[in-house]
Amino acid sequence: MAAGAAARKTAPVLEAPLQQEQLSHTKLSAEDAWNLQQERMYKMHRGHDSMHVEMILIFLCVLVIAQIVLVQWRQRHGRSYNLVTLLQMWVVPLYFTIKLYWWRFLSMWGMFSVITSYILFRATRKPLSGKTPRLVYKWFLLIYKLSYAFGVVGYLVIMFTMCGFNLFFKIKARDSMDFGIVSLFYGLYYGVMGRDFAEICSDYMASTIGFYSVSGLPTRSLSDNICAVCGQKIIVELDEEGLIENTYQLSCNHVFHEFCIRGWCIVGKKQTCPYCKEKVDLKRMISNPWERTHFLYGQILDWLRYLVAWQPVVIGIVQGINYSLGLE
């Protein structure tokens, strides 16, 4: 009887620290919980310096080899490289959004995919409607401008947060930083996707019209009053001011609708004449200094494609090598 009573007295004493520890964890704020998790991670990896150095060397070697392979692939088989990259950029974020329950991004991704699929369907039809090229370039130009706006807003919000300006508006640094990062990601991601799809649509439409061929000579001869991008007649003369758009002449003396040739070069990522393939002087075309930022933004999007599409693949290969070697 005495032993049973003693056991009953000591049992609450043993259970009390456990209950108190669980209660303390439930009362932790998000920041304290994050710090506790980092402390546990530090204790877990303490004393594994040589293993970490080996893992870093493996990552750097795989990164260099992957970069060489991707560059050679792009130079030798650019078309297949672009298609595979576009497919990865379309699918990889979908996996992470479903896994992390990012329903807002998933809804925007679905809406973008539906409209872009319809645009792609219209651009690949034969015979090609005369209104399709303008529809295609209007949609992708809209995506390009929206992505540019989101990217700039996200970047400015991040800079303002780092400088502490969020305190003037009584906004938490974490909330403003999250908004900036999300806006920047939306702008860069949809900017890359829009430019890649615009390039595919440009190739199909121009090849269907017949004034452009990816490899070889055009199948039709170009008249002086026909735009080689959309195949429609040019009404406004070079020295006239149009109500909607003007007529633009390249250094090779071929004339185009200004909207068509800008969409072809800036959005569709083409730097040659659609008919004779002479190199286009983009500095001459983009005379407004404010518009040159759009061209620079396009170059940033082309560079970002590697990070979004191929960086997860590189990390997956590194993780596989580490797992096979027993590195954790």
What pLDDT does 15 receive? 46
Nearest by Cα to 314 from 49, 91, 87, 70: 70
Fold of 221-287: Herpes Virus-1 (3.30.40)
pTM of the model: 0.66
182 neighbors 254 (Cβ within 8 angstroms)? no
Which parts of 40-191 are beta strand (E)?
none
Q: How far is CA 238 from the centre of its chain?
A: 37
89 neighbors 98 (Cβ within 8 angstroms)? no
- pLDDT, tens only, 168-179: 888 888 888 989
- Position 100 pLDDT exceeds 60: yes
What pLDDT does 3 receive? 47
Can you tell me the distance from the alpha carbon of 314 to that of 178, in angstroms, rounded to the nearest whole number? 26
Residue spans of the domains in the chain: they are 50-93+298-327, 102-209, 221-287
Would you state the structure tokens that stand for residue 154, as one six-digit string?
């996200």
**In DSSP terms, which residues pair with 272 in a beta bridge?**
279
Can you tell me the distance from the alpha carbon of 54 to that of 31, in angstroms, rounded to the nearest whole number? 32
Can you tell me the distance from the alpha carbon of 70 to that of 307, in angstroms, rounded to the nearest whole number? 12
- pLDDT, tens only, 143-170: 888 888 898 899 899 998 888 888 888 8
Can you tell me the distance from the alpha carbon of 184 to that of 176, in angstroms, rounded to the nearest whole number? 12
What pLDDT does 114 receive? 93
Number of H helices, E strands in the chain: 11, 2
User: What mean pLDDT comes out for the span 23-50?
Assistant: 66
**In DSSP terms, which residues pair with 233 in a beta bridge?**
226
User: What mean pLDDT comes out for the span 100-113?
Assistant: 88
Can you tell me the distance from the alpha carbon of 261 to that of 273, in angstroms, rounded to the nearest whole number? 9
pLDDT-derived band at 8 (thresholds 50, 70, 90) equals very low
Cis peptide before 218 (omega within 30 of 0): no
